[in-house]
Amino acid sequence: MKHIVPLAIKFIGWSVVLLSIFAIFNAPPLLVLFMAAGTAVVSYLIGDLFILPRFGNLAAAIADVPLAFLLIWLTSYALIEPTVNMVYASFYCALAIGAIEAFFHLFMENRVLDEERKEQAYRWYDEGRWATEFAKEYDQEKDDRT
């Protein structure tokens, strides 16, 4: 039940991007929504439930761009028309979706993923790793003279 809201958010984001780009090619909106639903579910399973908890937001966002490109290109090639322009449209859709996915992953980490799965994710910005150490400097020669 906790995956319905994230899937709906993901579907809305993908639908907005795909409808705005594929409207240029006069693709039927119902077909584009079908494309968005199928590709969003596959991306949710691979990118958000498998890659994100194990490798973190940066790796999942980087992996989402080629994954989105392949999914959109293959479905547009099969359902709309096999032209070179579909490759360009799929590429621009993948870039826009990659930007959306970076913010979507923050939502997933904060609201959906379990606490123990969040702790397993590698984060380069962990607390303490970038901490500065403060200490009193001792001058050995000065201490010997007094």
Condensed to tens digits (0 to 9), the pLDDT of residues 91-146 reads: 999 999 999 998 998 888 888 887 545 555 555 555 555 656 666 766 666 655 65
Report the chain's terminal Cα–Cα distance, integer Å.
Answer: 73
57 membership: H or E segment, kind and range: helix 57-79
- Please tell me the distance from the alpha carbon of residue 108 to that of residue 99, in angstroms, as a whole number: 15
d(CA 43, CA 13): 12
Q: Is residue 15 over pLDDT 90?
A: yes
Alpha-carbon distance values, 129 to 56, 71, 132 (Å):
17, 37, 9
- The lowest-confidence range among 13-27, 69-83, 91-105, 108-122 is 108-122
pTM reported for the whole predicted model? 0.73
Looking at the 3D structure of the chain, how many domains does it have? 1
Q: Which domain holds residue 121?
A: 4-145
